[in-house]
Each structure stands twice: as structure tokens, then as C-alpha cells.
Amino acid sequence: MTSPDTRSLRQLLKDILETSTEVARLSGDSAVPSLRAPASPETIASLEAALGLPLPPSYREFLEITDGVEHFNAGFELLGALQMLGPGYEAEVKRLRQQAWDAGQRGPIEGIIIGLLPGSHSFVFLDRSRPSGNGEFHVVYWAFEALGNAPTFREFLVFWSTVIREVLANIQASIANDKEAGPHAP
């Protein structure tokens, strides 16, 4: 049994960004993750009013640290309050919900989309139909089906931290194997 991850949300984000930046560097990807400025209390309140419910505490804490993460992973964005209040959000949500509806999935239709790869079918949502206590909702990573879920946004970040560390280890192992194999003949 593994012990619980005790890193703060701020430290989790820092670790994920450092690992993701290294993955991007080793992969030759110029799009590295970056934190936006924190969301203001007024912006957070406006988002809660627009949603008609209080934000889960761990997602609220995220917004208090950063109003979203650009290039969280290979073009995937973790959305901030300003993006969710912006004009393009509703159109993208409508498109993604239609995809979920067409796939017979209920959760994504009722969920609050908090992360997405623009123009794709992959997104992360707070599943309002699955409260997990203390004001939190399950967080689901979805691409035509649930590919992963966590009981809180913080636990989603813990999960993602593990995923991105595994990706980095695989890239590093591949580079080491290529070096051991030596130059390839033309």
C-alpha cells in the first residue's frame, strides 16, 4: 500500500510543470506548460454564480494559485475561470456534450468541463452526479469513455503527476537505449 501524497496543490503543480517541461524538451515540443496569474476572488465568484453552485474546494484552490495552465500536456489546457466565463467556452462545451450524448454518456453532459484539448474529443470534467464529500466532485478524464477518474481535483493532479513521470521515464529509457545501440547505418 502506498502512502498518501502529502504535497500541497502548489507543489503538485510545480512538479507536474517541471516534469512536463522536461518531456516537452526531450520530445522536441516547443509548447511548454505555463501557469497563468491567479484568478481574482471576483472572477471566482462570477464563475460560481454562472455555474449556480460553489466550486469544489480543490478546484477553487487551483484557481487561487493559477487561472488555468496553458499546454498542461501536449496542447491540453486546464481551464481557468476567465476561460470558462469567456465566449468560446460555451461553444466548445456544447460540441463536447453532443459527442458525449452521441456516445450515450450521461456524466460528461451534466459535468463541468475544466480541461480540454481544443477541437478534440478529450476533456476533463467535474462530475456533478458523483459528489465525493466535503463539496468535492469526482474528476473524470474522458475521450468517448472515462479513461481515468479521481475523487477530487487534487487527486486528479496526483494521478496526472504519476502519469507524466512515467512518460518521462519511458522517454529517458528510449533515449538511453538509442545511445546504447549506437549510430545507425544509412
Residue range 88-137, pLDDT digits in tens: 898 888 888 888 788 777 667 778 999 988 877 788 999 988 888 899 99
Name the band, by pLDDT with cuts 50, 70 and 90, for residue 146: low
Q: Are 12 and 156 in contact (CB under 8 A)?
A: no
- Tell me: the pLDDT tens digits for 47-103? 999 999 999 999 999 999 999 999 888 778 999 999 999 988 988 888 888 887 887
Q: Which three cell numbers stand for residue 114?
A: 475544466
In 21-180, DSSP assigns E strands to 34-35, 69-73, 76-78, 112-116, 122-133, 136-143, 146-150
**112/125 Cα distance (integer angstroms):** 5
Domain 9-175 sits in CATH at: 3.40.1580.10
CB count, 10 Å around CB of 157? Answer: 22
Map out the domains of the chain as residue ranges. 9-175
Q: Which amino acid is at 139?
A: V
Name the band, by pLDDT with cuts 50, 70 and 90, for residue 150: very high
**Per-residue pLDDT at 184:** 58
